[in-house]
Amino acid sequence: MTGLNRYVEVNLAQQRLKLYGQDNILMDVSVSTASNGAGELFGSECTPRGKHVIRAKIGAGCVPGTVFVARRPTGEVYSPDMRQTDPARDWILSRILWLSGCERGKNRLGNVDTMRRFIYIHGVPDDEPIGMPNSHGCVRMRNTDVIQLFDQVEAGTPVNIIEE
């Protein structure tokens, strides 16, 4: 794995995530961003735009479907029965790439701080809709896709979230 010369682009209009390396597309997958659209304000449940970095990678070595709460594995592995028990739960599975904004006043510090909003790229149950806005601000991915991305990036990898 090498994160050198790699960057991630999330396109809100297309609901796609692309991983670039040396100007080649290494991954191009469907994602799900915020139901509330683009926005940076704390409490908006919108996906923040602009330049970010992966501040932390969480979940290395966890089995696919590992359930996270407050960025910690709970010891559970997701199953459809769990959704029946807790249908409104916002499932965070497999891996977490915690984003931090780079643009002071736009997505960093104050009431627009991406990291303090706990905006992640993370896995979701296989039956969750992907390819359409459906999150509370995070970038949701299929578990296999988020694991693949996790294994190809490092903390500090740039992530640009665009509306085009």
pLDDT attached to residue 19: 98
**What's the number of domains the chain is made of?**
1
pLDDT attached to residue 22: 87
**pLDDT at residue 3 above 70?**
no
> How many CA atoms are closer than 13 Å to the CA of 106, on its beta-carbon side?
11
Distance (Å, rounded) from C-alpha 161 to C-alpha 164?
9
pLDDT attached to residue 4: 67
Per the CB < 8 A criterion, the answer to whether 107 and 49 are in contact is yes
Domain-embedded: residue 71: yes
Domain-embedded: residue 1: no
Domain-embedded: residue 115: yes
pTM for this predicted structure? 0.95
Domain-embedded: residue 141: yes
Locate 6 and state its tokens.
Answer: 């790699």
Domain-embedded: residue 21: yes
Domain-embedded: residue 15: yes
Domain-embedded: residue 75: yes
| CATH code of 110's domain | 2.40.440.10
Per-residue pLDDT tens for 104-149?
999 999 999 999 999 999 999 999 999 999 999 999 999 999 999 9
Domain that holds residue 54: 6-162
Per-residue pLDDT tens for 34-76?
999 999 999 999 999 999 999 999 999 999 999 999 999 999 9
Per the CB < 8 A criterion, the answer to whether 31 and 10 are in contact is yes
Domain-embedded: residue 146: yes
